[in-house]
Amino acid sequence: TQLAAGQQKGTAERFTRAGFILAAIGSSVGLGNMWKFPYITGQNGGAAFFLLFIICLIVVGLPILLAEMTIGRGGRANAATSLINLTGKKYWGWLGFLTVGTAFLIMSYYAVVAGWTLHYTLESFTGALFQEGADYSNKFKAFAGGYMPVFWQAVVMVLSGWVLARGVSGGIEKLNKILIPGFLIILLVLMVRSLTLPGAGKGVEFFLKPDFSLLTPESVLIALGHAFFSLSLGMGCMITYGSYVEKQQSLGAATLAVGFGDLVYAFIAGLVIFPTVFSYGLAPGEGVGLAFMALPAAFSQMPFGAFFGGLFFLLLSIAALTSAISIMEVPMAYAMDKWRWSRTKAAVVITALCFVIGVPSALSVGGVLSHIEITKDKTIFDFVEFVTSYIMMPLGGLLVTLFTGYAWKRAGEEAGLSGPWYKTWMFLLRVVAPILIILVFLYSVGLIKF
């Protein structure tokens, strides 16, 4: 007894106007902004990369974000069924199912990193993390290589499952309404702290004074891939959230609000991290370990470092949690529509399954499974991250552009766009975005080289 094509979900589960915007910002602002964005910006030369990211966000990210929200509200169902509802064609459901699978896989490793942040929050506030002469990179390796990450991953799953079981307005919306404003306050406190450190100016310069000679063609692809990840695109998330939006809400305005919100949080995260990194003589291109290995060294030397370090990791945890629930809602909505599961059942079964699938990732970052290489130099964790971020998400995004640009004829009406706005949107969806996405894809699978 699945939700038949054309059939729509009841009105019981809906966001309020502000609730939707906050939830969508909560989804987009996550580990991507606070953990990944600073380190890829550091590795790709700083300010010039930041500019590139902004361009990708506007030219490719926003049009797809609007398309996803529009599909969700028009189709009024999960990411797969919405596509069928809007065209009456079954095969779109199969393609849409790809995004549901992507969400599931992303969550399996996202919860691992989210778990690390919880552990680091606790260790910072208790002071256990900061000891005289500690080597933070060894500390991280010892932690990530043990079994504790599995415990923390389970905590993330239980927390997310609990919020999700409480529903769209009573769970997702409520959580975001509390956490997102709180998040901004903590972020601003940290920004003031880092900007007033001695030598902070060098970090600001690195982040905001562009040197274009540092950019490579690869930077463009990384920026584009990150724009996708950062806006939670290509995996049915914004379609699913869009299905809970009222007809009166302006999707164009919501798109701008979410895009702007995502950018502002990334911007402030950069202003927290780079001044700190430079002030303590650390390397901005450190990579994945920037947050977990380099920054603790800075916090340990700062007055009240345990407090500021704790705040920083708390921030990361909040960002991770509000994104994690949005990812999980994708397979949950699918199970509830398709198999008529209750919300509670879906929350329990899906978080449990996702936990199990994530355990190998958790144990492959220096742990017992770290010797397994799926492809050359890629552990299980690296492989799942790579396949989802650089192959499955772009494919999901391509699907959305083609669907909205070519297959579904009434997208403009649902999005509330007409005239030049509509034409620009269509041009970006039909031509610009697909070409860029295909380039990212071909590059990722090694079919083109620069």
Contact residues toward ligand PFF (CB under 6 A) are 27-28, 30-33, 103, 106, 229-230, 232, 235, 237, 323, 326-327
> Smallest distance from the beta carbon of 37 to ligand PFF, in angstroms?
8
User: Using CB atoms, what's the residue nearest to ligand PFF?
Assistant: 32
Classify residue 287 as left (phi > 0), alpha (psi -120 to 50) or beta.
Answer: left
> Smallest distance from the beta carbon of 132 to ligand PFF, in angstroms?
34
Cα–Cα distance between 87 and 407 in angstroms, integer?
7
Long-range contacts of 143-146 (CB under 8 A, 24+ apart): 143/116, 143/119, 144/116, 144/365, 144/366, 144/367, 145/365, 145/366, 145/367, 145/370, 146/367
Nearest CA among 354, 394, 323, 387 for reference residue 35: 323
Cα–Cα distance between 113 and 35 in angstroms, integer?
10
Between 326 and 404, name the residue whose CB sits nearer to ligand PFF: 326
Between 31 and 40, name the residue whose CB sits nearer to ligand PFF: 31
> Smallest distance from the beta carbon of 138 to ligand PFF, in angstroms?
27
Cα–Cα distance between 33 and 92 in angstroms, integer?
31
Between 38 and 412, name the residue whose CB sits nearer to ligand PFF: 38
- Residue 104: which residues within 8 A CB-CB, separation 6 or more? 330, 331, 350, 353, 354, 357
Between 26 and 367, name the residue whose CB sits nearer to ligand PFF: 26
Between 194 and 389, name the residue whose CB sits nearer to ligand PFF: 389
Between 33 and 317, name the residue whose CB sits nearer to ligand PFF: 33
Between 44 and 230, name the residue whose CB sits nearer to ligand PFF: 230
> Smallest distance from the beta carbon of 208 to ligand PFF, in angstroms?
21
Distances (CA, A) of 14 to 125, 171, 245, 335, 362: 37, 11, 6, 18, 34
> Smallest distance from the beta carbon of 106 to ligand PFF, in angstroms?
6
> Smallest distance from the beta carbon of 121 to ligand PFF, in angstroms?
17
Nearest CA among 377, 354, 352 for reference residue 364: 377
> Smallest distance from the beta carbon of 50 to ligand PFF, in angstroms?
15
